Amino acid sequence: MTLRPLSIAALVLLAACGPQSLRLAVPPAEPPARVGSSFGTVELLDVSLPEYAAADDVYVQVPGNSLTQLRRVRWADDPARAETLDLARALGGVTGARVVPEPWPFEEPAEAQVDVRVAEMVADSSGAFLMRGQYYVASQDGSGRDRAREFRIRIPLPADPGPGAIAAARGQATLALAQDIAANGLR
């Protein structure tokens, strides 16, 4: 066993020792620079998460690629709702466009629609937070600027990651996804 799997195993045991549930909020990561967008308005469909990532429970990957639940540690908000809101905020911050989660609340329709489908979102046994999946950008203006792209984002975790480090890495992964969508889907 390497040091990383031992650190994750210690985190699982530490979480099991506490008397009550810890609620984890994902801190927003601030975009370092803006990326231009061809679209001024964007509707973000609800982000689709795998079943384990959509649960209130926090899961980590252990050696052997199996997932285990951190006892007494839960996400502070519904993970799919939180990821959708966080990605909309990050995408708006990165592009300067008006990005709104569905349903679109304005009279004028959005110029583009983004659909994100996450296949994997977990603190993995290699010592990183991994987010992998696909996104689709559909132009709503008839311009034919539709895009489909796979993504794989890896955010390193500290040697002994606690729940706060996992939440911060999730926020950084969301920002990295927003930057990818801006650079490769909305230009």
Q: What is the pLDDT of residue 148?
A: 96
Helices (H) and strands (E) in the chain, counts: 4, 8
Q: What percent of the chain has pLDDT over 90?
A: 75
Residue (of 180, 171, 145) closest to 24 by Cα position:
171
Whole-number mean pLDDT of the chain?
90
Extract the tokens encoding 77.
């908000």
Q: 3-20+38-184 adopts what CATH topology?
A: Rossmann fold (3.40.50)
Q: How confident is the model at residue 7 (pLDDT cuts 50, 70, 90)?
A: low
Q: What is the pLDDT of residue 5?
A: 53
CA distances from 50 to 36, 53, 54, 66 (A): 30, 5, 6, 14
Taking only the tens place, the pLDDT of each residue in 131-166 is 999 999 999 877 778 999 999 999 999 988 889 999
User: Three-state SS for 142?
Assistant: coil
Mean pLDDT calculated for residue range 14-41: 81
Mean pLDDT calculated for residue range 159-182: 95
Extract the tokens encoding 50.
């795998």
Q: Which residue has the higher pLDDT, 94 or 1?
A: 94
| pTM of the predicted structure, to 2 decimals | 0.87
Q: Which residue has the higher pLDDT, 5 or 173?
A: 173
Q: What is the pLDDT of residue 159?
A: 86
Asked if residue 8 has pLDDT above 80, the reply is no
Q: Are 83 and 54 in contact (CB under 8 A)?
A: no
Q: What is the pLDDT of residue 2?
A: 46
How far is it between the farthest Cα atoms of the chain?
A: 58
Q: Are 141 and 165 in contact (CB under 8 A)?
A: no
Q: What is the pLDDT of residue 1?
A: 43
